[in-house]
Structure 1
Amino acid sequence: MTTLGVIGGTGWLAGALLRPALTSGFISPSNLVLSSRSGGADGFEAWSDIRFTTDNAVLAAACNVVILSVRPEDLGTLDLDLSGKLVISVMARVKAKALMDRFGTGRIIRAMPNASAEQGLSFTPWFATSEVTVKDEAFADGFFACSGKTTRLKAENELDYFTALTGSGPAFIAAFADVMIRDAVANGVSLQVADAAVRQLFLGAATWMAHASESPAETVKVFTDYGGTTAAGLTAMKAADIETPIRKGLAASAKRAATA
């Protein structure tokens, strides 16, 4: 029987991952222990059998799988013996070797979900060390599948790039949407209408693209070749070199993720 403990369990990311897993029945509330500084149950009122604690050692003693969902800067406050346990980290920048050395276990999985997890729309790549068992892998993949799509990576350093590409991606899309909203307002559209229009645009476009047979590049070519109003906008964006800032943003985020 798997008993899962989540350190930082009432934080936003842990909650976004846990609530879909609880709702689907992948995790039983009675087999879940959450620790936080407050020990509160905010966001989990629907599951009265979950245990809450402020003591990470109590959590470690009760669980055979431990998820680390804290800021990398807070890792130094965790002084725990997790030998013999599966440790799953959703922290950026902290390498598997550092986790092995700190917690005394070779069974480490590092994963990088994103802010769309609660809606079941995250893309979560994960990497497993050599001591991780087939059962461990199945648990991790099943857990993250509750909140979207998953893929296993062959090399840990790939996680640094995915931290930028999909881990940070929702914020990058939000930055693009913000520019569109502000431009609409500058052109006389009310903020309320502009916000609603752009949110619906991104929802519709993302849904359409997820199911389209064409690649994004092929879609751009179709509209550009058509030569209409969309082509005019795409041509202007290309002339302004829209590609370089995007690549620079991904590179900067990936570089930060690679910095221990």
Structure 2
Amino acid sequence: MQAEFSIGIIGGSGMLGRAIALALLRSGWPETRLWIANRSGSRAGFEDHTEVTLTADTQALADACDLVLLSVPPALVGDLGIHAPDRLIVSVMAGVPAARLSELTGARRVVRAMSSPAAELGLAYSPWFTTPEVTDADRARVTALFTACGLTDRVETEAQVEIFTAMTGPVPGFVAYFAECMADYAMGQGVAPDVADRATRQLFLAAGQMMATGADRPGDHVQAMVDYDGTTAAGLRVMRNSGIAAGVVAGLDAAIAKTRSIGS
């Protein structure tokens, strides 16, 4: 990847910030065009990337970089300590509105986004929303940033970013819970724990690959199994008539509500 601009990540030693930084480096981003700010300026986690600039001075990072990515815990957003009115500000902090980001940094070109630690593997889904002042060139830069992390889309509203914060941010989160239920079921039927664990991991790996690479949507896969009318169809019919779907909706609603309150 050829970089014509520099990226600075405030909070780049945290789980999400570091995952995004490593995704950039894996994609070929030049080390000399990447800055990382953390509280101590420690190089821990980036020892093999000697040309990446590590600093504890967030303002120095903002002064040096064209795109400033904010990846600190939302509770610490008030401690950012940067003034960057002429910079492109991109935030992956849950629950912090674009208006608040503009107020804190002085920037008008603000992007509110979400990603996940799966970025390190190139498997994150990163939706993003922009303020009106964000330019076409800015959008190209944001696309380049998040394409290095996996798949990305620009969405129309901040509310949609909040939806994906709850849905796709907590990888593996909700999907892991369903896998846990299935593994627990197998163990309850006498299957050895290591066998149940291995079988469940492989099932979700295969299902994820099939849904990610094929043209069929998740609902298409479900209906195909129902139409086949075999053993899986018997289970799916019971699940469809149970409260599972309502429970998923309630869980996502709760996560979105938390997202909307966490940065306030």
Q: Would you say same fold, with TM above 0.5?
A: yes
Counterparts of 1:109-120 in structure 2, within 5 Å, are: 109-120=111-122
Q: Deviations over 1:21-61 (max 9, x none)?
A: 11212x21112111112322232222110111122122222
Q: Does structure 2 conserve the Cα–Cα contact (< 8 Å) formed by 1:4 and 1:32?
A: yes
- In the alignment, which residue of structure 2 is the partner of 1:6? 9
- In the alignment, which residue of structure 2 is the partner of 1:53? 55
Q: Which amino acid aligns with 2:170?
A: S
Q: Distance in 2 between matches of 1:150 and 1:130?
A: 19
Q: Distance in 2 between matches of 1:130 and 1:238?
A: 42
- In the alignment, which residue of structure 2 is the partner of 1:244? 246
Q: Deviations over 1:84-142 (max 9, x none)?
A: 11111000110000011111010101111123211111111101111112111111111
- In the alignment, which residue of structure 2 is the partner of 1:156? 158
- In the alignment, which residue of structure 2 is the partner of 1:165? 167
Match of residue 21, structure 2, among 18, 22, 37: 18
Task: Give the stretch that moved more between structures: 114-123 or 139-148.
Answer: 114-123
How much is the aligned-residue C-alpha RMSD, in angstroms?
1.5
Q: Does structure 2 conserve the Cα–Cα contact (< 8 Å) formed by 1:181 and 1:194?
A: yes
Q: Could you state the TM-score of these two structures normalised by the residue count of structure 1?
A: 0.94
Counterparts of 1:54-73 in structure 2, within 5 Å, are: 54-73=56-75
- In the alignment, which residue of structure 1 is the partner of 2:199? 197
Q: Deviations over 1:215-260 (max 9, x none)?
A: 2222212212222211121122123221100111111111222223
Q: Which amino acid aligns with 2:72?
A: V
Q: How many residues get paired? A: 259
- In the alignment, which residue of structure 2 is the partner of 1:34? 36
Tell me the SS of whatever aligns to 1:150.
strand
Q: Which amino acid aligns with 1:235?
A: R
Counterparts of 1:138-149 in structure 2, within 5 Å, are: 138-149=140-151
Counterparts of 1:78-93 in structure 2, within 5 Å, are: 78-93=80-95
Tell me the SS of whatever aligns to 2:12.
coil
Q: By how many angstroms is 1:210 displaced?
A: 1.6
Structure 2: gaps spanning 5 or more residues: none
Q: By how many angstroms is 1:169 displaced?
A: 5.5
- In the alignment, which residue of structure 2 is the partner of 1:229? 231
Q: Distance in 1 between matches of 2:150 and 2:172?
A: 14
Structure 1: gaps spanning 5 or more residues: none
- In the alignment, which residue of structure 1 is the partner of 2:137? 135
Match of residue 76, structure 1, among 68, 75, 78: 78
Q: Distance in 2 between matches of 1:20 and 1:9?
A: 12
1:183 aligns with 2:158: no
Q: Does structure 1 conserve the Cα–Cα contact (< 8 Å) formed by 2:20 and 2:117?
A: no
Q: Distance in 2 between matches of 1:78 and 1:219?
A: 45
